[in-house]
């Protein structure tokens, strides 16, 4: 069994579609104020455009830790 935890920063683009930034090795103790400051700094930096010319970080939408557990049922053994 393998468990991983990462931080997702959520935004809305210019068309109100959800976009996210995933941080794989974030500190495990980030609080709401710290997350808000990071989100607002990215949003206020501006200058980001996606392939469609939309700002992917137009609006701050939140942050969350995501924990994923994988329980392998079968795995092919490595050859020696």
pLDDT tens-place values along the chain, 80 residues long: 999 999 999 999 999 999 999 999 999 999 999 999 999 999 999 888 989 898 999 999 999 999 999 999 999 999 87
Rounded CA-CA distance 79/42 in Å is: 46
Sign of CA dihedral 32, 18, 21, 38: negative
Q: What is the pLDDT of residue 80?
A: 72
Residue 5, both tokens: 């935890």
Query: According to the model, what pLDDT value does residue 79 have?
Result: 87
Res 47: pLDDT: 84
């Amino acid at each position: 069994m393998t468990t991983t935890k990462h931080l997702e920063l959520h935004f809305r683009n210019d068309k109100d579609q959800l976009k996210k930034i995933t941080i794989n090795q974030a500190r495990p103790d980030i609080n709401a104020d710290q997350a808000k400051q990071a989100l607002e700094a990215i949003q206020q930096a501006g200058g980001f455009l996606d392939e469609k010319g939309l700002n992917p970080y137009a609006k701050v939408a939140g942050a969350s830790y995501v924990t994923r557990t994988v329980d392998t049922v079968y795995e092919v053994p490595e050859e020696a």
